[in-house]
Structure 1
């Protein structure tokens, strides 16, 4: 069973993603900020992370940096879901190890779910 960690501070989006991913058979855990995400990754390594960039406390760039530092975590696929659509932020996230980047307002949840499935196919 694949475990997905959603790191997001918008309750509506958390619920929508969680409902869709659970319906697809995935186990889902959530974190509201980067600090909580790193704690949860340390306790139970997820198979994939859906990561927002703008959050309270520690942001998504912090999470990407922490993942890159840890040899056991750096290969976890990360899909960024953000409201930031600027090329510089997208480039930075991808250079820091994100596998994909979706601007929330430009992509339906179904598209994100399909990308999750792609990354988790054996």
Structure 2
């Protein structure tokens, strides 16, 4: 079973995405802030991180940088799922090593799951 870590601080979205991913047979864990996310990424065998940018404590940019600096995580797939949709943000995500960038308003939860299935 594919292991995904959802890094999101909105409890409504957490409920929606965890339900959708579980329905599709994924094993999904949740981190609600950047510190918790980094700990879970390092401690667990995560195959993909679904990462929001705007988070308490440590933001998504910093998490992505730390993932890419950690040699053991260089192949970890990181998909940004954010409301930030400016071209500069999308470009920054790819420059930092994101696998894909999804703008929340452009994808239903089911479509997000389909995009993740394509990557894994």
Q: Which TM-score band applies after superposition, normalised by the shorter structure?
A: over 0.9
Distance 1:97 1:111 in 2: 22
Distance 2:79 2:98 in 1: 6
Write the deviation string for residues 59-105 of structure 1: whole angstroms up to 9, x where unpaired. 00011001101111121111111111111111001111111111111
Asked if the contact 1:45–1:73 (Cα under 8 Å) also holds between the matched residues in 2, the reply is no
Count of aligned positions: 120
How far off its partner does 1:45 sit?
A: 2.6
Q: How does 1:1-122 map to 2 (within 5 A)?
A: 1-120=1-120
DSSP-derived class of the 1:58 partner: coil
TM-score of the aligned structures, taking structure 2 as reference length: 0.96
Distance 1:72 1:2 in 2: 18
Distance 2:17 2:73 in 1: 22
DSSP-derived class of the 1:72 partner: helix
TM-score of the aligned structures, taking structure 1 as reference length: 0.95
